[in-house]
């Protein structure tokens, strides 16, 4: 392994070409070639409600109001799928550009699915303050939507020393791209510490709940971990089974979660 002194972030990589529709489909983007789909409609409804929450947060002038953290209790509950489709819907309907930031380093992560696994991204920005986040963003076929890949993982000994704390990274991203909505596709709350570390510094959180799989106690434990975060919107995924065509409604997990700052019945102070 290289010694710390030889660590260098990848430089002079040309900006990757815009992602293709096929690459975005690989990551779960719903493409409606032949008219609207039910799932697409459901995402539009969720995105519109999320947009309302974001607008309110922006108006309140809260710290990092333009950031949305997408998380769930466990892996494979649909965080990346939801990130891509919520972000695409937001980009198409809201006036602001949207940047998805891959913040979940794992095999099959969003960057890998869209062919950006080896491109500089979030980790590089975390290690090097000279990088402009906008330069890391790769365009997609959805107007107004781009992706910042996960970047080079901390595989060198000194990375952790160079790396700025995650909360600071989110502050810097928010300030560097004030006119965009930043959607952080994060890891699961019960397996990694990053989302709970980030929770207090993001404007809003979308908690993806997988119908029939996420257990109530797990959900409560996860909500407890993000206690103190301002606005948590729960989104029910995979309602009707595993076939995309038969996925039922995406919805909020009760009215409590549609009302920012209202406490949910079970998980106290989660909102
Ligand atoms: N509502 C859905 N309809 C169809 N496929 C879905 C849905 N939600 C998730 N998936 C698929 O399930 C798998 C896991 O989802 P993913 O978003 O990668 O999970 P996570 O990011 O939470 O680990 C992916 O293949 C994804 O495309
Ligand atoms: Mg994911």
pLDDT digits (tens, 9 = 90+) for 223-256: 999 988 878 999 988 876 444 433 333 333 333 3
Mutate which of 78, 190, 236, 242 for ligand 1 pocket (most atoms within 8 A of beta carbon) = 78
Per-residue pLDDT reduced to its tens digit, 156-199: 555 556 667 888 999 999 999 999 999 999 999 999 888 999 99
Q: What is the CATH number of domain 40-258?
A: 3.40.50.300
Could you tell me if the CB of 200 is within 6 A of ligand 1?
no
Output the pTM of the full model.
0.86
- Of 33-42, 184-193, 201-210, least confident by mean pLDDT is 33-42
* Residue ranges of domains in the chain: 40-258
Could you tell me if the CB of 141 is within 6 A of ligand 1?
no
Per-residue pLDDT reduced to its tens digit, 101-137: 999 988 999 999 999 998 999 988 988 878 999 999 9
Could you tell me if the CB of 260 is within 6 A of ligand 1?
no
Give the side-chain half-sphere CA count within 13 A for 254: 11
């Amino acid at each position: 392994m290289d010694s710390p002194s030889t660590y260098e972030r990848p430089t002079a990589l040309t900006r990757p070409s815009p992602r293709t529709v096929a690459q975005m489909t690989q990551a779960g983007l719903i493409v409606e070639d032949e008219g609207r789909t039910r799932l697409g409609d459901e995402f539009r409804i969720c995105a519109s409600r999320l947009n309302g929450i974001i607008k309110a947060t922006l108006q309140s002038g809260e710290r990092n109001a333009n950031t949305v953290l997408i998380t769930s209790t466990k892996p494979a509950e649909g965080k990346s799928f939801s990130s891509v489709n919520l972000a695409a819907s937001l980009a198409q309907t809201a006036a602001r550009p949207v940047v998805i930031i891959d913040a979940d380093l794992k095999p099959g992560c969003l960057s890998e699915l869209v062919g950006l696994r080896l491109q500089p991204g979030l980790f590089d920005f975390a290690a090097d303050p000279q990088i402009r986040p906008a330069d890391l963003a790769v365009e997609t076929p959805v107007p107004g939507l781009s992706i910042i890949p996960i970047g080079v993982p901390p595989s060198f000994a000194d990375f952790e020393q160079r790396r700025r704390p995650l909360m600071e990274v989110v502050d810097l991203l928010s300030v560097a791209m004030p006119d965009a909505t930043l959607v952080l596709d994060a890891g699961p709350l019960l397996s990694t510490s990053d989302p709970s570390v980030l929770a207090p510094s993001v404007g809003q959180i979308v908690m993806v709940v997988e119908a029939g799989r996420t257990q109530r106690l797990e959900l409560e434990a996860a909500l407890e971990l993000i206690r103190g975060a301002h606005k948590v919107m729960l989104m029910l995924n995979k309602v009707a089974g595993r076939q995309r065509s038969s996925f039922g409604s995406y919805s909020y997990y009760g009215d409590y979660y549609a009302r920012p700052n209202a406490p949910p019945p079970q998980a106290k102070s989660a909102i």
